[in-house]
Structure 1
């Protein structure tokens, strides 16, 4: 991850490769944002006019590079990044706007050694937003990139640099001796590092990230950060009666795992449980996915990655709350031993499920993990999963759905997601949809009506949550894996969706604001 420094020196005094400033859309053209005043002065007060002449408008996502004026700056290049509409005189820039602008700039500077960010940082919240955006935007996944081209020759330095993240970030205007500024930046560093952890896992191909390999990653992190850990292998799952996890994983040569990882604090007054869907590869099983739908199914463990990263974040931040993560890990494959449509599974809860579609497997592994999590009587449970294509159809690729057995908690989780900068939307669970999951041979079927499929999945999960436990379900199927081009601080591929929301939930719970 990029190195971070806070600096009170002016933007013009920064010894860097590039100075980043913000530019907004004004009534009469682009306007240089707060933080870029000294740079504008170096251009003789004509920076906005110069940008206008170059076609820059200050729109969000827009970047414009220009050479620094002779003798005006110690950096040779200025990068102007668009902030969108300029706020009113008594207003400040929206925090998410700052995150996205910083991320956009960081992506544009891939391969650069050192960049000074002179974006608006009026308070600690803005310091956190710019730091977070810049660090998240500088992410790159290069584990599987070779130094050699297809013909065996070495790639050029230019080619190598293009894939390298921004090495060093200086945050201009942030005060290293200000406790609030320093704490905000340090929190952002932890958060960005853990989102990167989740992204790395999501981007890792399934031949290297099996359930066992995933569990090994968790073991390493647990040792490093003094976390409690328990890993249940296939023998322990069979002995415990975890029919959902075993049923999904039985068609694969890579056996399933249920991992419990926990952060505890001696002064904690509340406990939250996080449950993540960890299908390390989803072929659909016997209900095989059609061609064109398999290529990105390494991402079907994004929920477990988010939960894992959130628990580690809670530990690194020293949050005064107990956070337990449950990772339901399995590989869903077709074989002679795979669960067949029409089979009945006996779940950990004691309920039986008729499996009518083996591609509705995520809810089966989550059901066992939810039941197990309830046994520890947490104050709240949140599960995270790339669960349904129906949610993508409903909300698109950048917004996740929030369902809950408690309307107030659903609203809270939605608001926390918005605070964290993650787009979400509260969704209902109409009781009449439960009828579609009635089975003639078992307690419930794993699918129901196609319309409202994301809501049906939520109703299924609700069956495995104790009535006296507050629970929410995040369906991150849309934003978990970005197949389009990168934008803001969001890269192509794994995004780490859900991590920041879960951490915000843990922080607010630790502060006594929830529960």
Structure 2
């Protein structure tokens, strides 16, 4: 879908559908008033008859209003609040898109610039609006014989005041890049695990490298992982016929001397739990256990599209966790790349095992900051549900930057503590550390485990187990989160 920005008198706009907001009080804003005046009071007459009350998301489609160049006018209710919340704006935009999808016009013009959104300027509300529109058009139909009819809607124009054109255009460009990265992430997450395995992710990384000259791609295979001493990583992969891959993508958009930022993604392309086998019900959704790695690739996709002037290292720890005669057993002890030994008490706590070696590997890049992203713990879903990601780490400034980015991107996170008392739950009588800390505070003890391998740099951990995908039902699928949060964090570093 193409997005354009322009400034033009609303009554003279030639468009298939012109979208205008009407509040619940029936008060006409400047845009609606101009339309109403040009159309001889047609809109105000409809409101007096009660055809539209202006409730949030309510719509009314009008055809061939007199003296207007627009073929249709779509009135959409903005509710009774003087300022909309982010969630209310998304509902309004989604309701608009649902109507536009069913129309025959190839274009639409949105005259929604007057809407006030709490805490957002013209850039912020445009970002949210365009991301919602672009993400709302996402479909995953690669494996369907009967595909949906292609949308007639190809172009959306955002009407803006001349004084805000530059900011609205900038917001639209950023939003389109983020939405594109989210779609890339969603596609990878939604692919079946018999196709999307570690070698497939490696091929996707290579394809990105070929398309962008600033991007250097290195794929480390099982032999190289052994040479590096990544015993924790290899322990996860040894039960599968699919070979593990450590995928390293190095983007040089900044000065050569600038230290990079690093994103480390968990890429378990299917997680049976290993010998500590998961219940069968819903196990198909364990194809989403690579959404951390997918979100890193999606964020990189957005960074490449925007050509951000910074250096970024993306490290994807990719493996498949399967039960077999060669699989790791509960009670096994392995040696990580850092030299620390780990007693594996539960083979279903595998994400932290691949990540700990990837975090150690990240040291060689001397990064400004390292953020790991992982669908790490079911306990995170218990704590925060499916709306909010968890963040924890060893640097308060970095955590605050991520929380701020999440708020700005409407892709929110919440800090969990990493107090020393929790570390004691990982004590092992036989090794330096156990890979689980018991039933209490499971998300926090997982973060504590990772913190043991991230002491040489500023580090934060994002647990996206609840936010990376939607479970069950007709809406099941990857969400593309936390691409907006991560991209906003990187945008904040260069603005």
TM-score greater than 0.5 by the shorter chain: yes
1:40-59 correspondence to structure 2 within 5 Å: 40-41=36-37, 42=39, 44=41, 46=43, 50=47, 53-54=50-51, 56-59=53-56
Aligned to 1:64: 59
Query: Structure 1 regions of 5+ residues with no counterpart?
Result: 148-158
Q: How many angstroms apart in 2 are the aligned matches of 1:485 and 1:9?
A: 44
TM-fit CA distance, 1:496: 1.0
Instruction: Name which of 244, 263, 279 aligns with 1:256.
Output: 244
Change (3 A) 1:68 1:446: same
Unaligned 5+ segments in structure 2 are: 115-120
CA contact (8 A) 2:113 2:159 kept: no
Say yes or no: does 1:186 pair with 2:185. Answer: no
Match in the other structure for 2:117: none
Q: How does 1:145-156 map to 2 (within 5 A)?
A: 145-147=144-146
Contact 1:265 1:322 in 2 (8 A): yes
Q: CA deviation at 1:503?
A: 1.3
Report what 2:118 is aligned to: none
Tell me whether 1:500 sits opposite 2:484 in the alignment: yes
CA 275–9 in structure 1, closer or farther in 2 if over 3 Å, else same: same
Alignment of 1:7-18 (within 5 A): 7-18=6-17
Q: What aligned pairs does 1:339-350 form with structure 2 within 5 A after superposition?
A: 339-350=328-339
Which residue of the partner structure matches residue 222 of structure 2? 234
Whether the aligned pair in 1 keeps the contact of 2:124 and 2:408 (CA below 8 Å) is no
Please state if 1:117 is matched with 2:106. Answer: no
Could you tell me how far apart the structure 2 residues matched to 1:401 and 1:168 are?
A: 37
Alignment partners' CA distance in 1, 2:335 and 2:443: 23
Counterpart of 1:275? 264
1:250-278 CA-to-partner distances (Å, cap 9, x unmatched) read: 11111111101121134374421111111
Contact preservation (8 Å) 1:357, 1:447: yes
Question: How far does residue 57 in structure 1 lie from its aligned partner after superposition?
Answer: 4.3
Cα distance change, pair 231–160 in 1 and its aligned pair in 2 (3 A): same
Q: Is 2:250–2:312's contact at 8 Å kept on the other side of the alignment? A: yes
What displacement does 1:108 show?
A: 4.4
Distance 1:131 1:52, change over 3 A: farther
Q: Quick one: distance in 2 between partners of 1:402 and 1:184?
A: 26
Q: 2:191 aligns with which of 186, 190, 204?
A: 204
Counterparts of 1:123 and 1:93, CA distance in 2: 13
Q: How far apart are residue 8 of structure 1 and its match?
A: 2.2
Distance 1:326 1:230 in 2: 10
Task: Verify the 8 A CA contact 1:402 1:410 in the aligned structure 2.
Answer: yes
Partner of residue 406 from structure 1, selected from 395, 399, 403: 395
Q: Choose the corresponding residue for 2:417, options 421, 428, 448.
A: 428
Tell me if 1:389 matches 2:384.
no
Alpha-carbon distance, 1:403 to partner: 0.6
Shift of 1:284: 1.2
Q: Secondary structure at the match of 2:110?
A: strand
Question: Hey, what does 2:317 align to over in structure 1?
Answer: 328
| Deviations, residues 475-510 of structure 1 (Å, cap 9, x unaligned) | 111111023789xxxx75111111111111112222
Residues 271 and 73 of structure 1: CA distance in aligned 2, closer, same or farther (over 3 Å):
same
Q: Deviations over 1:153-198 (max 9, x none)?
A: xxxxxx733x748432121226699443333222222121111111
CA distance in 1, matches of 2:471, 2:439: 25
What is the rounded CA distance, in whole Å, between the counterparts of 2:262 and 2:48 in structure 1? 50
Give the conservation status (yes or no) of the 8 Å contact 1:138–1:165. no
Q: How big is the shift at 1:24?
A: 3.6
Is the 8 Å Cα contact of residues 135 and 189 (structure 1) preserved in structure 2?
yes
The CA distance in 2 between the partners of 1:458 and 1:43, in whole Å, is 64
| C-alpha spacing 1:146/1:33, structure 2 compared with 1 (3 Å) | farther
Task: Please report the RMSD computed on the Cα atoms of aligned residues, expressed in angstroms.
Answer: 2.8
Query: How many Å apart are 1:23 and its aligned residue?
Result: 3.6
Contact 1:284/1:332 (8 A) holds in 2: yes
Q: Are 1:234 and 1:255, in contact at CA under 8 Å, matched by a contact in 2?
A: yes
| 1:211–1:254 CA contact under 8 A, matched in 2 | yes
User: How far does the alpha carbon of each residue in 1:205-253 deviate from its partner, in whole angstroms, 9 at most, with x for none?
Assistant: 1111111001101110121122111111112112222122211111111
Corresponding position of 1:265: 253
Change (3 A) 1:35 1:458: farther
TM-score by length of 1: 0.86
- Please, which of 348, 355, 358 is the counterpart of residue 366 of structure 1? 355
Distance change >3 Å, CA 48–CA 225, structure 1 → 2: farther
Partner of 1:155: none
Displacement of 1:100: 5.0
**1:34 and 1:119 in contact (8 A); partners too:** no
Question: Paired residue for 1:154?
Answer: none
Which moved further from structure 2: 301-310 or 175-184? 175-184
Q: 1:301 aligns with which of 276, 290, 309?
A: 290
User: Which of 81, 86, 91 is residue 81 of structure 2 equivalent to?
Assistant: 86
Q: What is the match of residue 132 of structure 1?
A: 131
Q: What is the CA–CA distance in structure 2 between the aligned matches of 1:182 and 1:24, rounded to whole Å?
A: 26
Structure 1 196/438 Cα, relative in aligned 2: closer, same or farther at 3 Å? same
1:129-150, Cα deviation, whole Å (9 max, x unpaired): 3222221222222222213xxx
Deviations 1:408-439 (A, max 9, x none): 32122111110111122111113212222111
- Which has the higher mean CA deviation after the structures are superposed, 186-195 or 94-103? 94-103
